[in-house]
Amino acid sequence: MKLGCCYYPEHWPRERWTEDARHMGEMGLSCVRICEFAWSQIEPELGRYDWEWLDTAVATLADAGLQIIMGTPTATPPKWLVDAMPGMLAVDAEGRPRRFGSRRHYCFSHPGYRAECARIVTAMAERYGENPAVIAWQTDNEYGCHDTVLSYSDAAAARFREWLAGKYHGIDALNAAWGNVFWSMEYASFDAIDPPNLTVTEPNPSHVLDYRRFASDEVVSFNALQVDILRAYAPGRDIVHNFMGFFTDFDHHALSRDLDVAAWDSYPLGFLEQAWFGDEEKRAYMRQGHPDFAAFHHDLYRGCANGRWWVMEQQPGPVNWARYNPAPLPGMVRLWTLEAMAHGAELVSYFRWRQAPFAQEQMHAGLLRPDGSEDTGAEEARAAAADIAALGEIGAPPRAVALVISYEPAWLFQTQPQGCNWRYIELVFEMYGALRRLGLDIDIVSPEYDLAGYKMVVIPSLPVVSKGFAARLAALSCPVLIGPRSGSKTADFAISDTLPPGPLQSILPLRVTRVESLRDGAVEKGRGFAVTRWLEHVESCLDAEIALENGRPVLLANDRYRYLAAWPDRDLLGDIFRGMADEAGLATYDPPHGVRMRTIGTLRFAFNYADRPRRVSEFVDDVDELAFRIGGDRLDPGGVAVWEV
Ligand code: GAL
């Protein structure tokens, strides 16, 4: 695994560049990402390119032996372009165009903007595509960040109509699929259809879901436009995009098919603060991040581009954008770095090299302070570089548990939550955490992924199930858990003909006859567990493996298939997964609060996210006989131990 950083030569005087490049190498960094926001510097006005500074920057970095990841600058169209083409601005759900003055102010559907992107990407790729120092290209930056996937512009409306015509061919088919007979919503032609915003009350959910599918396809085709150009001019270079945390607004599996590497931007403290976690958890982990947050995304993005993945931006200190921005506990920057290694990363790149004293992110730490002196992140990056060198090649990730997720369920449940505390990604994350607390190794994969060879399969919730997918599940021989609301909808967003779980009835003979959502704080008790938020009434010839105190079934089993008819608490999930792991012959552990484990190749890693010391001997036998490669029995807060298995 290599280390790198994100660097903005255009922010610093030229006299600094040589020293910065030398300093990066001395710190143990070998890669540097540049340029992803530099459009106004590369092209100060239409058609006038200024390559001189970038040529010099690239040469300076290359001379210091650094490998360059070049970003395309399409997340930051310059003012002259917006002024010349105001229709390129995205329009929000209230119908307001977004303005110039920050970033991501473009609509994915605008043909003129797409043409401009093709032009700037071609110009850059012609110039640097075959430069030996430029080893990879990053397309744009964090597609969808700042809520930018959905746009309700005229350009988007026009392309949506074309997309619908391509999908349904005739308007009658669309009216039937959407159920437009309801509330007199029938259309006479595709041209009559608008995006589903500004309606008086909720729009037709089928209309919304198609709009979300369309918007996702727009992101994928926008990216593909850049990829095609880069493939032509930058042969053999990796093409990568930097995805985000807990972000489901477009189909990352579909987009990743066009990439060589899926990268993501890891900000464990910022995300803990901004996500749904309760106050207690936020306080307990405020300087460490949630112990499953980074691992979850490592395992998710490893499943996106055939196993190749990077951390493109790693938090090095306090960020500026969360409600509160504490500093990482000493050791966490090193821990996060080594944890990425334990999950198979090829690169961890810190964001950013040096804190900018100006503009929006002046309060965001870098490896260096604004005056150029080293901040504490730099020390830890050095320590991580030494550990990585000491560990050497570490082998391949194991194939143990498959957690099957998809992006469409998030759109479907956001469109029709049926209970405001139902959050798909939270359910996925809860299941992931329950598996991981048992020390299990997890691959997060799409329903299209080949599940053969896994010892256990978990599907948190998959509302739309194809007959083909049900048949593939029927062919598996390992324990399989299928979560609530699975098979509950058709692809057109109607209730399944045979009632839920629809096509899954071929492996699970049961019918969900009624569902109810429960307000926060309401619980239904079972023995040693409780369910919250969501409860299904089930009719079945199957016996309940687990039931509520009132006798209502919660878990029904048919041979190796189990159906979970409620939103589970952690105790229930722990019991279910331990039972499945036993059945699958997978060893489980019981590490103390805040400690997590991960196995890769012949190495086992333990990470202490707790704010107090722990011992490996608390959850592993015969510690005296372990061959430690890093650390030992004592795990300090933020500590890491690695041993041979
Ligand atoms: C990311 C983004 C970076 C920077 C960073 C700050 O979302 O890609 O450009 O803004 O956050 O934490």
CA–CA distance from 320 to each of 14, 271, 363 (Å)?
A: 27, 12, 5
Distance 564 CA to ligand 1 centre (A): 38
Q: Tell me what pLDDT residue 264 has.
A: 98
Ligand 1 atom index nearest CA of 242: 8
Q: Tell me what pLDDT residue 286 has.
A: 98
Question: Using one digit for the tens of pLDDT, what is the confidence trace for 20-46?
Answer: 999 999 999 999 999 999 999 999 999
Confidence of residue 359 (pLDDT cuts 50, 70, 90): very high
pTM of the model: 0.98
Angle at 535 between CA 530 and CA 536, to 5 degrees: 135
| Contact between residue 603 and residue 640 where contact means Cβ atoms under 8 Å apart | no
Mutate to test the pocket of ligand 1, among 37, 297, 351 (most ligand atoms within 8 A of CB): 351
| Contact between residue 405 and residue 442 where contact means Cβ atoms under 8 Å apart | no
| Residues facing residue 239 across a β-bridge | 137
Confidence of residue 462 (pLDDT cuts 50, 70, 90): very high
> If you ran DSSP here, which 8-state letter would residue 558 be given?
E
Question: HSE of 24 in the Cβ direction (CA atoms, 13 Å)?
Answer: 33
Q: Please give the single-letter amino acid code of residue 117.
A: C
Average pLDDT over every residue of 595-616 = 97
Question: Using one digit for the tens of pLDDT, what is the confidence trace for 512-528?
Answer: 999 999 999 999 999 99
Average pLDDT over every residue of 251-259 = 98
Q: Tell me what pLDDT residue 374 has.
A: 98
Element (H, E) at 172: helix 171-178
Per-residue H/E/C for 380-407: HHHHHHHHHHHHCCCCCCCCCEEEECCC
Q: Tell me what pLDDT residue 398 has.
A: 95
| Contact between residue 272 and residue 285 where contact means Cβ atoms under 8 Å apart | yes
Phi/psi for 545 (5° steps) reads -75, -35
Strands 480-482 and 510-517: unpaired
Q: Tell me what pLDDT residue 483 has.
A: 98
Query: Could you tell me if the CB of 364 is within 6 A of ligand 1?
Result: yes
| Closest protein CA for atom 10 of ligand 1 | 361
Q: Which of 596, 587, 508 has the alpha carbon at shortest distance from 553? A: 508
Tokens, residue 231: 């493939």
Of all residues in the chain, the percent with pLDDT exceeding 70 is 100
Phi/psi for 234 (5° steps) reads -125, 60
Of all residues in the chain, the percent with pLDDT exceeding 90 is 100
Give Cβ neighbours of residue 321 (< 8 Å, ≥ 6 apart). 270, 364
Average pLDDT over every residue of 439-449 = 98
Q: Tell me what pLDDT residue 628 has.
A: 98
Ordered by where they begin, the domains of the chain are 2-149+219-391 (3.20.20.80), 157-206 (no CATH), 401-584 (3.40.50.880), 607-644 (no CATH)
Q: Which of 350, 270, 261 has the alpha carbon at shortest distance from 307? A: 261
Q: Which residue has the tokens 């581009």?
A: 305
Confidence of residue 70 (pLDDT cuts 50, 70, 90): very high
Q: How far apart are CA 73 and CA 45, in angstroms?
A: 15
Phi/psi for 400 (5° steps) reads -115, -75
Distance 222 CA to ligand 1 centre (A): 21
Q: How far apart are CA 497 and CA 493, in angstroms?
A: 12
Average pLDDT over every residue of 362-389 = 98
Query: Could you tell me if the CB of 141 is within 6 A of ligand 1?
Result: yes
Tokens, residue 337: 């770095």
Query: Could you tell me if the CB of 265 is within 6 A of ligand 1?
Result: yes
Average pLDDT over every residue of 61-90 = 98
> If you ran DSSP here, which 8-state letter would residue 160 be given?
H
Q: Tell me what pLDDT residue 546 has.
A: 98
Q: How far apart are CA 133 and CA 131, in angstroms?
A: 5
| Closest protein CA for atom 11 of ligand 1 | 265
| Contact between residue 498 and residue 465 where contact means Cβ atoms under 8 Å apart | no
> If you ran DSSP here, which 8-state letter would residue 366 be given?
-
Q: Tell me what pLDDT residue 579 has.
A: 98
Query: Could you tell me if the CB of 142 is within 6 A of ligand 1?
Result: yes
Dihedral sign for Cα 39, 43, 44, 45, please: negative
Distance 105 CA to ligand 1 centre (A): 15
> If you ran DSSP here, which 8-state letter would residue 621 be given?
S
How large is the greatest C-alpha to C-alpha distance in the chain, in angstroms?
A: 77
Mutate to test the pocket of ligand 1, among 10, 138, 313, 321 (most ligand atoms within 8 A of CB): 313
Phi/psi for 114 (5° steps) reads -60, -40
Query: Could you tell me if the CB of 36 is within 6 A of ligand 1?
Result: no
| Contact between residue 24 and residue 5 where contact means Cβ atoms under 8 Å apart | yes
Query: Could you tell me if the CB of 313 is within 6 A of ligand 1?
Result: yes
Query: Could you tell me if the CB of 311 is within 6 A of ligand 1?
Result: no
Distance 297 CA to ligand 1 centre (A): 16
Give helix 332-342 / helix 376-391 axis angle, nearest 10°.
30
Element (H, E) at 516: strand 510-517
Ligand 1 atom index nearest CA of 36: 9
CA–CA distance from 533 to each of 412, 468, 583 (Å)?
A: 17, 30, 29
Q: Which of 430, 413, 406, 400 has the alpha carbon at shortest distance from 485? A: 413
| Closest protein CA for atom 9 of ligand 1 | 141
CA 263 to chain centre: 9
Confidence of residue 206 (pLDDT cuts 50, 70, 90): very high
* Residues annotated catalytic, as ranges: 142, 313
Q: Tell me what pLDDT residue 434 has.
A: 98
418 φψ region: left (φ > 0), alpha (ψ -120 to 50), beta (else): left
Average pLDDT over every residue of 122-126 = 98
Residue-level length of the chain? 645
| Residues facing residue 349 across a β-bridge | 4
Question: Using one digit for the tens of pLDDT, what is the confidence trace for 542-580?
Answer: 999 999 999 999 999 999 999 999 999 999 999 999 999
Q: Tell me what pLDDT residue 94 has.
A: 98
Identify the three-state secondary structure at position 424. Answer: helix
Distance 154 CA to ligand 1 centre (A): 29
Question: Using one digit for the tens of pLDDT, what is the confidence trace for 397-438?
Answer: 999 999 999 999 999 999 999 999 999 999 999 999 999 999
Query: Mean pLDDT over all residues of the chain?
Result: 98
| Contact between residue 7 and residue 19 where contact means Cβ atoms under 8 Å apart | no
Q: Please give the single-letter amino acid code of residue 462.
A: L
Identify the three-state secondary structure at position 243. Answer: strand
Q: Tell me what pLDDT residue 598 has.
A: 98
Distance 322 CA to ligand 1 centre (A): 12
Query: Could you tell me if the CB of 140 is within 6 A of ligand 1?
Result: no
Phi/psi for 238 (5° steps) reads -70, 140
Ligand 1 atom index nearest CA of 320: 12
Distance 556 CA to ligand 1 centre (A): 44
Ligand 1 atom index nearest CA of 145: 7
